[in-house]
Structure 1
Amino acid sequence: MHRLLAFFLFLCSAALVQAAPSVALYYGQAIPLQEFRNFDIVVVEAGHGHDPRAFRQVGGELYAYVSVAEVQASRSYYKDIPAAWKMARNRDWGSEVIDQTPAAWPAFFAEKVVAPLWEKGYRGFFLDTLDSYRLARQFDEAAQQQGLIRVIETLHRRFPGIQLILNRGFEIVPAVRDKIRMVAAESLFRGWDAGSGRYREIPAGDREWLLGQLQTIRQRDGLDILAIDYVAPHDRALTRDTAARIAALGFIPWVSDGALERIGIGSIEVMPRRVLLVYDSSESPALNYTNAHRFLQMPLNHLGYIAEYADVARELPAGILPDRYAGIVTWFSGGIAPARHRPLARWLAGILERQLPLAIIGDPGFQLDRAFAARLGLRLAGDNIRLPLSVARQHPMLGFEAPPLPNRSDLPLFMATENAGNPLLTVRAADRQEYLAGALLPWGGFILDPFALVEIPGSDQARWVIDPFAFLKASLRLPEIPVPDVTTENGRRLFFSHVDGDGFPSLAELPGSPLAAEVLLTEIVERYKTPMTISVIEAETAPHGLFPKLSPALEDIARRIFRLPHVEIASHTYAHPFIWDRNVSGLSKNRNREEGIYQLDVPNYRYDPVREIIGSIDYIRERLAPPGKPVSILLWSGDTAPDAEALRVVENAGYLNLNGGDTSITRNNPSLTAVGAHGIEKDGHLQVYAPITNENIYTNLWRGPYYGYERVIESFEMTGSPRRLKPVDIYYHTYSASKRAGLTAVHKAFAWTRTQALHPVFASEFIRKVQDFHAIAIARDQHGWLFRGNGELRTLRWNGAPPRLADAQGVIGHNPGPEGSYIHLTGASARFAVAADAARTPRLYDANARIAGHQNGPGGLGFALKGHVPIEFSLADSQACQVRADGRSLAPHRSVRHGDTAVQEFRLAHAAAQIQLLCPAR
């Protein structure tokens, strides 16, 4: 009992110790607020439609910006302000200055300005323009200040619990210090001159006066101080330095651009996780098939970064700055259209000026002149290159999957010079002259054709010549970050299975010719009690579909499958479109069978994404699903390349989506070019890819050999080591159950999973992890790392010293993986520091179930596990602790050592349990 008492006293005392909150100010609307979610307080322009209640659910608090003594004509309440209350005009901002002395003003401000925001869920407010009365020619300072005090007192009476930040208003602070959260001031070291539109350094005299005011308030009134400075948005180094200078004074810093429309740096710094990939749409029929997406996004995802795309054939995006973007990559296979040469050159010059790292792959895309080459720190080669070429020197990152082999068509562009950065590849001509084919330079790096990637003639295979992970990290100067990992939870590789409904009505080539769907149910679904996501095609099973006579039997089988507790229900569409984005393919969405087979031949039906997606899910829910069991997943059919409109339909309806990606690496094609990305974004809508492709690819489009799907085991192994790139996903069609060889291959895949330490999940859980990968914000402060997401993705992969668990929040353990440590998170947010000499404390080593609750302290460790199969978990450094499960003592199944770590393994017969460790005090 004394250990439990000490444990809970520790938790209570820890809750009382609160550091100063991290604060950000963001008045724009182009950046999703999820990128600010690591901050405790974010001050926003409430008119931009933010949802403070939703933001509060992920741990932060939105404060609404409100101007007390100034109002612009665009405000809804402007027309209700009596003319007599307007005492001056601020020409820099185009606003009217409001007299604070009228008796009716505090109530007006409370009801007209604050009350509507309070109704929307705001509980914190940033009160600005408190000193604006000084813009008037005549004013009674004492009366104005008393008016401001009445405004604040009125807000406290009218809105109990209201939180206020004052921007300046230093003179009234002693009178209201018990009613405000903190005091803010602008331009301590660096400022923004709205009149001239320039950033400037604050004169020493002005800074010393302001510093004196702020220090007095902090010491006299015991309030936190928020110092807001302004730096040009491209200058992250100066932004970071200014924030550090403010923090060194003991103030809360926020340093951003003059309009407060960027992600600045405060007491924490958000790590940019977006990389913009610039491609040429004329090189491929769709984004899905470009080199940038097929080959480059997977390495970026694995490094923890989100890929965005910009088509050079369109206007390239403005506002690409280092607050959100870690870098830019261009990949062209040849020269782009001449009309785009100059715009691309100008755009790239702007990227270099804004100091964003740039990587150039393949061809620069346009004819470089001497001036642009010089800007890159390079010298053009000229036209007199004497063939043949040979490799003179190569960096270790070359020869990754294939050796660098010069050819006669892709000639080098640059001379090899002594000051050409860090050369990656130097080639030598017949006259002994040397040329540069790749290098790392202060602005980034480049690797020219054919030394990035080569395609194997006569096949659809390719090989990396350069190590894409190493090249991206080096050229974009990507820092080591804790990588959000969608492959793993609690140290174990994820495992799920999903089935596309194709072939549900097929007759199996087995005795009695049963329906393939019946064979699927009896031989696979009922045999393996592990999470499965199974779908049907409405046109194959419905009475109004293609097989009305078989429909009663088919629907009965579907109902029996969907009743099983380990089965999750999905739709594989209504008419199984074979081509989703028919505009890209040069087709009309309304073309029918006589013009080409683009879906199942449903009479009198024309493609409609709403009917395919929403209609098919409604059919399954109404006719096949047990009452109350959700149907929430759409499994893409055919080419699995939906356009943005189809993705929008799914997302707006609140459904999940999966399929595509075509990861099919095997020993016959042992290349990372055969491993797909996490998914693809189109117009802001995310398609989630299946981790591993289905049996259709392994069986030559179901032409044989029908046992070919057994090679999926090679894919599982090759995406698990030396890098864990994908979860295990047994993904196949119902028609695999129509042939004994196909069934045997599926059985072999399931048998292989039983030899592995895996973490079973449903497909929906994996999909939400990929969505969370795109939503997570990672930040760092002087103590360590901060992480905040939606709570679905629970693993960070970290190639460094392990987390210090004694003072970590939201971290329950870690274990070694192929590329560092997997850090186990307990929920949506985490905070931890790392230390090579961190004290060994009892921790979760691994588990095949999710953490459903967690408490940690010096007296022990408590957590709940909830999974889908009987629980297996391991504890590290817990030999001295007593372990209980649901209140009963639990003995380890066995004890082992992993390196210098002692690990105890435990098993339970059920899928949920409350685990408690009682450990002796240290």
Structure 2
Amino acid sequence: MRSLKRLLWALMGAAGLGLWPAAQAQPLGTPAVALYYGHSIPLTEWRAFDIVVVEADHGHDPKTWRERGLELYAYASVAEAHPSRPYHARIPTAWKMARNGAWRTDVIDQTPAEWPEFFANEVVGPLWAKGYRGFFLDTLDSYRLAQQFDEAAQQDGLVRLLETLHRRFPGIRLILNRGFEILPRVPGKVQMVAAESLYRRWNAEAQRYEEVPENDRAWLLQQLRTAKEQHGIPGLVIDYVPPHQRELTRQTAEQIRSHGLTPWVTDSQLHTIGMGAIEPVPRRILILYSSAESPALRYSNPHRYLQMPLNHLGYVVDYADAREPLPEGVLADRYAGVVTWFSGFLPEPHRRPLSRWLQARMGEGMPLAILGDLGLAPDRALAQRLGLQVGAEAPRSPLRILRQDPMMGFEMPLENLEQADPFRLDNAVGREARSLLQLRDAKGQEYTGAAITPWGGLALDPYVLAKVPGTDFARWVIDPFAFVTQALRLQPLPVPDITTENGRRLLLVHIDGDGFPSRAEFAGSPLAPAVLLQEVLERYKLPTAMSVVEGETAPHGLHPADSKEMEDIARRMFRLPHVEVASHSFAHPYLWDPSRPHGRFLEDPRLPQHLPLPGYKMDLTREIVGSSQYINERLAPPGKKVKIMLWSGDTAPNARALAITEDAGLLNMNGGDTTITKANPSITAIGAHGLLMDGQLQVYAPITNENLYTNLWRGPFYGFERVLETFEMTDKPRRIKPVGIYYHTYSASKRAGLRALHTVYNWALSQPLHPIFASEFIHKVRDFHGYALAKEGGGWRVRGDGHLRTLRLPSALGTPTLGQSRNVAGFAPGAEGVYAHLASPSAWFVSRPTQEPPTGPYLTEANARLVGWKTSDGGRRVEAQFRGHGPIEVSFAGMTGCSALADQRPIAPTPLPKAQASSVPGQVSFRIPHAAAQIVLQCASR
């Protein structure tokens, strides 16, 4: 049977593997395999899969992705060669037995004795050298395009080719596209056999998707059944469904799976993330904004206010400027929804493209949430899509509230809002919509201020966000968590959580190096860093990132007379084992992007761009790479180098600065300005995880520094004590941030500032926290942005880089069933569900609404990283390894009848202080006076 897509594959590539019936609550035994031929989707989005077949010419690095748990297979066309392939010109003319005019390829005769070695040397060899170890071999039957051919001789040639590949490349893994006839002759040499179109196919001639005739299905099923039953080779089936029809994609995959075959269901061009052995869960939200409404994206309403709630719900945010061409191909395989937030009308040239784009997304079934303003006066087509009445009479003041949903008036009472222009829904949409705010005007006409609609939801100003008169503060009028969840139809999912590990809230400390030349107001006027070293760093042995500003400390800087003493202090700081090394730049830029208009974080726009170093002109490489080299060469001890670039000034680097940092092998952090306090008790004062710009990620500090608590260091100098309010308000009612102690060197220059530091440190030491380095936190935020979730076998498959080891399970997901899960060591209760503790970068688990009794002990909390976890004896024996940054505190539940060893010695439970006591019934805690330990638990049969 001829494959409709065989010729397309000659230029592109394919693969896939199996899935158990969804009713089985167990991880799959067969690797999850996908095939992707496009350019636009980063391979990060494919992390949930085990194998992805790609076009190797697209520049992928299989070695890098192998280290991250993803194996790339290279596409290779066996019997056809396109002129664009580098080896095409070296194929002897005598070997070209036909021409495929449709795809401009030459059909290669498989009978020449030299052909297998040529294919091994010219096609597979270069890919093997790049790191590919798996290959998808396509066009095996293209010899049938020739007018004359010897079927047996051609198949003999194919067999010789496969044997040659296995001889030349030991361990090579092969997936064949069809080639059913030669399978009996190559035992043990084929990993999988692929075929297409069992239920749904793409008709290339008619350019349409259609069902497969029953006769074709029966023939293909028989071939695949024979391959499996007689030759032990599993089958992969590739079917084609319109990419926005996700439910049909899901149904088709299940139909294929019912035959014991591995499905891969995708679009006709194989350019989207389909469904197969697993169903990836989109974790991205696209937000449309207008660059004309703020100096830069980081100061726009959607980034300042909405990204944090979306991050907290587990979603990564991408932005698209509506003043630029809007992205094409935004489909449900990658995005859970689209949000627009405008504060007024777009310029005229951009309104019609926006209208067309929104209608296209709605036509694909993409959920849409509209906040603020529509950005345009909707034309008739868009108004009809949205269900808005065109030309509705403007309301007559005053407006009176008839009904309001509990999500309205979230932080600001509606009665305090200024007059607005609400909208009217047409009858059809109005009947299906749920009004969140119903209003009546002076003439008795009813209007809507916000609603959940069949296509998503909308909430217009001023029913979204309100400014607090006389301040720079803002308040949410609508509950953003509830609104985006309902408008975008977001389903409960395991949230990769950057605040917690092993049940305990994270704690990190980092210090900006400003103020090294400052003299402390103590006897003898010592340098502030000397006071900081003695009073803080040597006293509180918490993991700390310390930085310096080269232009302040270096002999060629602004203070050459004090340079020797400052550098000596910095060396002593960096030698401390609990201190990691960071740079705070060369000249301490106040504006990292001078092309950008003045930012909101600088009070005086007349400030210089950087420290007044003679003859210096702003140079990003000098600031980032140069300052790091200075620290590494003059200040850092052997074997300890700069890890982090801590942004200074407006903390607003552009994408180029971020790229320079990344290319230098450095992490980056600062910005975000989380400052929620009792004086401003609003989640609008809690920042996002970070900002993605042109593929580069700026990681925000979890909590802001003492400057904003001390009125930009004008006093009160004890103001940093108020950060304790921020710590508490970012923990309850939602744990949104870890505890981040962040300040400058000059905090040690004043008695009040130093006392505030002692207060903050002592509070932190009294709490049940999990100390980590700032670099570890940064890696967790980076891991969050690339974390993969997928539904698999009745459970969840999760995969990251291994830095982020906590999943927050919303209450609707219940608790993990540990006996049926893999690489889940335990869980702990939280305010919004439970925190699941992962023992590996990847895991699989099934959860239940109610907790099932465990068969043995499980981890509830620890202040150290879990670096090893093994269960045996039906779960009654546990071997756990922990590594932390101080004495280890660890707790387990399910310990009835259990004994414990720590480093092969018996240990007794240690009651935790009352402030750290857990609410987990039957929890048993241990304290080991080392930063690393192996604990073995053995429990009797029950």
Length-normalised TM-score, structure 2: 0.94
Report SS of the residue matched to 1:812: strand
Deviation at 1:898, TM superposition (A): 5.4
2:353 equivalent to 1:343: yes
Match of 2:499 among 475, 479, 487: 487
Residue 904 (structure 1) aligned to one of 924, 929, 936: 924
Identity of aligned residues (%): 58
Counterpart of 2:17 in structure 1 is none
**What is the aligned partner in structure 2 of residue 848 from structure 1?**
863
What is the rounded CA distance, in whole Å, between the counterparts of 2:426 and 2:723 in structure 1?
Answer: 45
Matched, 1:816 2:816: no
| Deviation at residue 21 of structure 1 after TM alignment | 2.1
1:789 partner letter: G
- In the alignment, which residue of structure 2 is the partner of 1:165? 175
Q: What is the identity, as a one-letter code, of the residue corresponding to 2:575?
A: R
* 1:551 correspondence with 2:563: yes
Is 1:880 the counterpart of 2:891? The answer is: no
Match of 1:445 in 2: 457
Question: Which deviations, in whole Å up to 9, do the C-alpha atoms of 1:241-281 show, x marking residues without a partner?
Answer: 11111111111111111221211111101111111111111
- Is 1:609 paired with 2:620? yes
Task: Give the AA of the match of 2:819.
Answer: A
Partner of 1:688 in structure 2? 699
Q: Which residue of 2 aligns with 1:827?
A: 840
| Alignment partners' CA distance in 2, 1:501 and 1:159 | 54
C-alpha separation in 1, matches of 2:131 and 2:510: 41
CA contact (8 A) 1:416 1:426 kept: no
The residue matched to 2:238 in structure 1 has which SS?
Answer: strand
Structure 2 Cα separation of the partners of residues 392 and 901 of structure 1 = 47
Work out whether 1:751 is the aligned partner of 2:762. Answer: yes
User: Aligned-pair distance for 1:224?
Assistant: 0.9
1:34 aligns with 2:44: yes
The 1-side partners of 2:44 and 2:622 are apart by 32
Letter in 2 for 1:152: L
Counterpart of 2:181 in 1: which secondary structure? helix
Q: Would you say the 8 A contact 1:785–1:833 is kept in 2?
A: yes
Q: Choose which of 804, 808, 813 in structure 2 pairs with 1:797.
A: 808
Question: Any idea what SS the aligned residue of 1:62 has?
Answer: strand
Shift in CA distance, 407/303, structure 1 to aligned 2, threshold 3 Å: closer
Residue matched to 1:13: none
**Map of 2:509 onto structure 1:** 497
AA aligned opposite 1:438: A
Verify: 1:244 aligned to 2:254, yes or no.
yes
Q: Deviations over 1:716-747 (max 9, x none)?
A: 00001110000101111111111111111111
Question: SS of the residue aligned with 2:350?
Answer: helix
Aligned counterparts of 1:142 and 1:156: Cα–Cα separation in 2: 22
Q: Deviations over 1:838-880 (max 9, x none)?
A: 3313111100000112212224111111000111010111132
- Please name the residue that 1:571 is paired with: 583
Residue matched to 2:190: 180
Where 1:275 maps in the other structure, the secondary structure is: strand
Question: Map of 1:2-13 to 2, 5 A cutoff?
Answer: none
Shift of 1:37: 2.1
Alignment partner of 1:839 out of 839, 849, 853: 853
Question: Cα gap change, 1:22/1:501 in structure 2, threshold over 3 Å: closer, same or farther?
Answer: same
Alignment-mate amino acid for residue 919 of structure 1: C
Amino acid at match of 1:553: E
The separation in 2 between residues aligned to 1:182 and 1:807, in whole angstroms, is 28
Aligned to 2:489: 477
Q: Residue deviations 1:113-150, cap 9 Å, x none?
A: 11111111211111111121222222221221121111
Unaligned 5+ segments in structure 1 are 1-16, 588-592
Distance 1:837 1:545, change over 3 A: closer
- Which residue of 1 is the match for residue 9 of structure 2? none
Aligned-residue offset at 1:44? 1.1
Partner Cα distance (1:381, 1:740) in 2: 66
Tell me if structure 1 keeps the 8 A contact 2:31–2:51.
yes
Q: For 1:210-242, what per-residue CA distance to the aligned partner results, in whole angstroms no more than 9, with x for missing partners? A: 112112222222221100111122221111111
- CA contact 2:387–2:426 (8 Å) conserved in 1: no
The Cα of 1:174 is off from its aligned counterpart by 1.4
**Aligned counterpart, 1:297:** 307
Q: What letter corresponds to residue 921 of structure 2 in structure 1?
A: T
Does the CA-based 8 Å contact 2:672-2:687 persist in structure 1? yes
Q: Does the 8 Å CA contact 1:66/1:125 hold for their aligned counterparts? A: yes
| Paired position in structure 2 for 1:561 | 573
2:28–2:792 Cα contact (<8 Å) kept: no
| Structure 2 residue 156 is matched with structure 1 residue 141 | no
d(CA) in 2 for partners of 1:103, 1:780: 48
Partner of residue 3, structure 2: none
Give the structure 2 partner of residue 917 of structure 1: 937
Q: Which range moves more in the overlay, 278-287 or 379-388? A: 379-388
* Residue 365 of structure 1: aligned partner: 375
Cα pair distance change 1:667/1:41, threshold 3 Å: same
Of 723, 727, 732, which residue of structure 2 is paired with 1:716? 727
What is the DSSP-based 3-state SS (H/G/I as helix, E as strand, rest coil) of the residue aligned with 1:618? Answer: helix
User: Comparing 390-399 with 407-416, which one deviates more in the overlay?
Assistant: 407-416
3-state secondary structure, aligned to 1:884: strand
**Within 2, Cα distance between the matches of 1:197 and 1:921?**
64
Q: Name the counterpart of 1:430.
A: 442
Corresponding residue for residue 46 of structure 1: 56
> What is aligned with 1:868?
885
Contact 1:165 1:182 in 2 (8 A): yes
Matched letter for residue 683 of structure 1: D
**CA deviation after TM superposition for structure 1 residue 157, in Å:** 1.4
- Stretch deviating more after TM superposition (559-568 or 39-48): 39-48
Q: Please state if 1:82 is matched with 2:61.
A: no
SS at match of 2:616: coil
Letter in 2 for 1:718: M
Segments of 5+ residues of structure 2 without an aligned counterpart are: 1-26
Find the aligned partners of 2:70 and 2:672 in 1 and give their Cα distance. Answer: 35
- Aligned to 1:177, the other structure's residue is in SS state coil
Instruction: Decide whether the 8 Å contact of 2:553 with 2:559 is kept in 1.
Output: yes
- For the 8 Å contact 2:598–2:605, the answer to whether it is kept is no
Worse-matched range after superposition: 856-865 or 898-907:
898-907
Cα gap change, 1:159 to 1:921, in 2 (>3 Å): farther
- How far the C-alpha of 1:161 sits from its partner, in A, is 1.4
CA distance in 2, matches of 1:845, 1:420: 45
Contact conserved, 2:584 with 2:646, CA < 8 A, in 1?
Answer: yes
Instruction: Identify which range, 886-895 or 647-656, moves more after superposition.
Output: 886-895
TM-score, normalised with respect to structure 1: 0.96
Change (3 A) 1:280 1:159: same
Matched, 1:700 2:711: yes
Answer yes or no: is the 8 Å Cα contact 2:283–2:316 preserved in 1.
yes
Spell out the pairing of 1:741-780 with structure 2 (5 A cutoff).
Answer: 741-780=752-791
Residues 392 and 427 in structure 1, CA contact (< 8 A), matched pair in contact too: yes
Whether contact under 8 Å (1:497, 1:533) holds in the other structure is: yes
What is the distance in 1 between the residues matched to 2:561 and 2:197?
A: 78
What SS class does the counterpart of residue 782 from structure 2 fall into? Answer: helix
Aligned to 1:8: none
Distance (Å, rounded) in 2 between the aligned partners of 1:453 and 1:299? 14
Distance 2:387 2:295 in 1: 35
Q: 2: CA distance between counterparts of 1:664 and 1:559?
A: 32
1:788, distance to aligned residue in structure 2 (A): 0.9
Is residue 2:908 matched to residue 1:891? yes
How many pairs does the alignment contain?
901
By how many angstroms is 1:405 displaced? 4.0
Structural RMSD (CA): 1.8
Per-residue CA deviations over 1:569-598 (Å, capped at 9, x if unaligned) read 1111111000111111179xxxxx998511
**Structure 1 residues 391-430: aligned runs within 5 Å:** 391-405=401-415, 410-415=420-425, 417=427, 418-430=430-442
Q: Hey, what does 2:20 align to over in structure 1?
A: none
Give CA-to-partner distance per residue, 1:813-855, whole Å, 9 cap, x none: 1110111110111221111111335331311110000011221
Q: Give the distance between the partners of 1:905 and 1:380, measured in 2 at CA.
A: 65
